Amino acid sequence: MPEASATGKRSKFRTVRAVLTHRHRLRALGLLFALLAGGAVWAAPQVRAWRHLRAAREELEHYHTAQAIRHLKVCREYWPGDPEVLLLAARASRRATVYGDTERLLSQYEKAQGRDDAYHFERLLLDAETNQDKVVDRCWKLVEGGHPESPLLMESLARGYMRRYRLGLARRCLDRWSESQPDNPQLHYLNGLFHLDYAHSASAAVESYGRAVELDPDHEEARLGLAVALLLRKEYAKAAEQFERIRQVQPDNDRVLVGLAECREGLGDAAEAVRMVDEVLARKPDFLSALSLRGQLAFRQEQYAAATEWLRQAVRRNPADQQARYNLALALEWSGHTDEAREYKEQFERMKQDLARFNDIVTGDIAKRPADPALHRELGQILVRSGQREEGARWFQSALQIDPAYAPARRDLAALQGTGP
């Protein structure tokens, strides 16, 4: 990028920050004048909201998504239409991958503030994660040109690549980020996410998440990832320690309580595990991971009828839960329902084969032939068979973007949407 262009972009970014800083000063002066004029009753909640806004801003700077969301929730109670609050909330929801909320918040910001530079940059980050083909070249040009917010661009690019299972490009992006910020906790968090959810290496995930937590003990997402990776490695005591740490700051996170229950069961305290899972199900009877674990606990206690009931619910609500399907087959077999057990075992084996093929495609084939619509269609078919219809539809649409005349993907999409012949 030419030097003058790069200087102009940096100047534009500084202007955005200057405008926001000016707004902060105006708000603070307004609070001060209100207090001096005897408006303490009115100003007290405003001061509280101001403190939460300042905290939210700092937490987002440190990639603390969960903490920022908690602070912004308070801000939005008092300032629901404040442009900065909307922009920060959009960034937090994007990092939490709640993209529908991000779209809505950016739309509200646009109505309040217009399509200014801050809006365009946050829109670019969202598109880098959800609509990548449209903006990927532009993002990389900004990174190569030394954009002052290159880490944010690489973060969104890496998430977008992983979301599309373009793992080689995701790896390239993370490695490039590592060259400039080797000790960035968010970089190591995303490395952990890559290893756990996409490369399926719990050991590598433990190392990456552990490094993130070492660099930043307050990175809640990294600590939760570390707990899950340790649990997968059956390091129950270490996993329980991490879940307990998260539970202290996220007492209402039922996913944490279910994970802790699984640790208790692994450590031999089945009664406490049952108590914890029942506590979750009392609040949320449809909580998927709790249903699956409750069935597993009942099976191990030889309560086969109860196990069958829990596991039927788990499989019905989440057809992609392979472990629940396998446990259901075992429970049915021990209950004497051998024919039905055989059906579920056959389904489980097909799902295993699908998963193996899925991994072959995303870790090898699609990197060699990224523009092959047949591969995109096959990924969509596997996802639909596992019950992930929305994701499957996305891959059928991806195949059609590559080749609008590719009839097999069009038939699959039409059948999925109920518009086929």
Q: How far is CA 80 from CA 25, 45, 72, 84, 122, in A?
A: 19, 14, 10, 10, 19
First to last CA, the chain: 52
In 3-state terms, what secondary structure has residue 267?
coil
Whether the CB-CB separation of 407 and 417 falls below 8 Å is answered with no
Condensed to tens digits (0 to 9), the pLDDT of residues 165-194 reads: 889 899 999 999 999 999 999 999 999 999
Output the pLDDT for position 26. Answer: 54
Per-residue pLDDT averaged across 259-266, rounded?
97
CA 99 to each of CA 96, 132, 153, 255, 328: distance values in angstroms, whole numbers, following the listed order: 8, 14, 17, 20, 34
Give me the amino acid identity at 200: H
**Average pLDDT over the chain, rounded to whole?**
90
Query: What's the rounded Cα separation, in Å, for the pair 139 and 98?
Result: 21
In this prediction, residue 115 carries a pLDDT of 96
Mean pLDDT of 54-82: 96
Sequence letter at residue 112: A
- Least confident window among 149-163, 175-189, 205-219, 351-365: 351-365
What are the CA-CA distances from residue 91 to residues 51, 72, 122, 181, 284 (Å)?
19, 11, 7, 21, 28
| CA distance linking residue 293 with residue 259, whole number of Å | 9
Q: Is 378 helix (H, G, I), strand (E, B) or coil?
A: helix
pLDDT category at 388 given cuts 50, 70, 90 is confident
State the pLDDT at residue 99.
Answer: 96
User: Who wins on pLDDT, 409 or 26?
Assistant: 409
pLDDT at 59 over 80: yes
> What separation in angstroms does the CA of 396 have from each of 131, 199, 393?
15, 23, 5
Based on the number of CB atoms within 10 Å of its own CB, is 103 exposed (0-12), middle (13-18) or buried (19 or more)? middle
CB 246 within 8 A of CB 227: yes
Give me 399's structure tokens: 């195949």
Model confidence over 123-135: pLDDT tens digits? 999 999 999 989 9
- 261 closest CA partner among 283, 282, 289, 286: 289
